[in-house]
Amino acid sequence: GDSVTQMEGPVTLSEEAFLTINCTYTATGYPSLFWYVQYPGEGLQLLLKATKADDKGSNKGFEATYRKETTSFHLEKGSVQVSDSAVYFCALSEVWEETSGSRLTFGEGTQLTVNP
Amino acid sequence: GAGVSQSPSNKVTEKGKDVELRCDPISGHTALYWYRQSLGQGLEFLIYFQGNSAPDKSGLPSDRFSAERTGGSVSTLTIQRTQQEDSAVYLCASSSRPGGNQPQHFGDGTRLSIL
């Protein structure tokens, strides 16, 4: 079955440091890939997505590139801020056919803390 | 409203009682999903609705769990004879149309605590 593996956390960085959170996946088809973020006390928010190989998703300074050859979707940001402190989830959904709904399969989540 | 709305935000109940959790999706979104977030299991899919029908209910953990959706809008997740292992945050999400590449928009969740 489908699965998503994220780097183990928690991750603690100083403000303006470079961030990488690794994500690899296993899927039987050609999934879409997502990063969701959960700020303290809030629900999940979509951060970025990529729907096919070599696509790059980007938002709020975060980027991730869909790498089919390495089955990876690593999240990066060049300079983190204190306000980026949150839990980050990598997720995939299979695209069986356009008219089918598709469950999200999530990684374990990575807690990021950014210190001033 | 502008986003997915869930109620109640918190629910504390005694073991053995029934509970109902409500989800009001984004207006016009035809696809609706329920997930569960717990410490030991992470984020797990429960059920998917397209309109009022549920093509995929394979994630429901037992027959104590059921869900319905009426009018293609509001959905209710019901847990009968609650157990302590049901304690978790229950999340609802909706997307504008079905399809695996459609992003899902999440509500803030219902935190369920079983005493």
Strands B10-13 and B19-24: unpaired
Q: Which residues of chain B fall below pLDDT 70?
A: 1, 100
Any chain B CB within 8 A of the CB of A42? yes
The verdict on a CB contact (< 8 Å) between B43 and A104 is yes
The answer to whether the bond into A116 is cis (omega within 30° of 0) is: no
Q: What is the pLDDT of residue A64?
A: 98
Any chain B CB within 8 A of the CB of A8? no
A44-67, pLDDT tens digit by residue?
999 999 999 999 999 999 999 999
B55-81, pLDDT tens digit by residue?
788 899 999 999 999 888 999 999 999
CA A39 and chain centroid, separation: 14
Any chain A CB within 8 A of the CB of B91? yes
The verdict on a CB contact (< 8 Å) between A103 and B108 is no
Q: What is the pLDDT of residue B72?
A: 83
Compute the distance between CA of residue A79 and CA of residue A36 in angstroms, rounded to an integer. Answer: 19
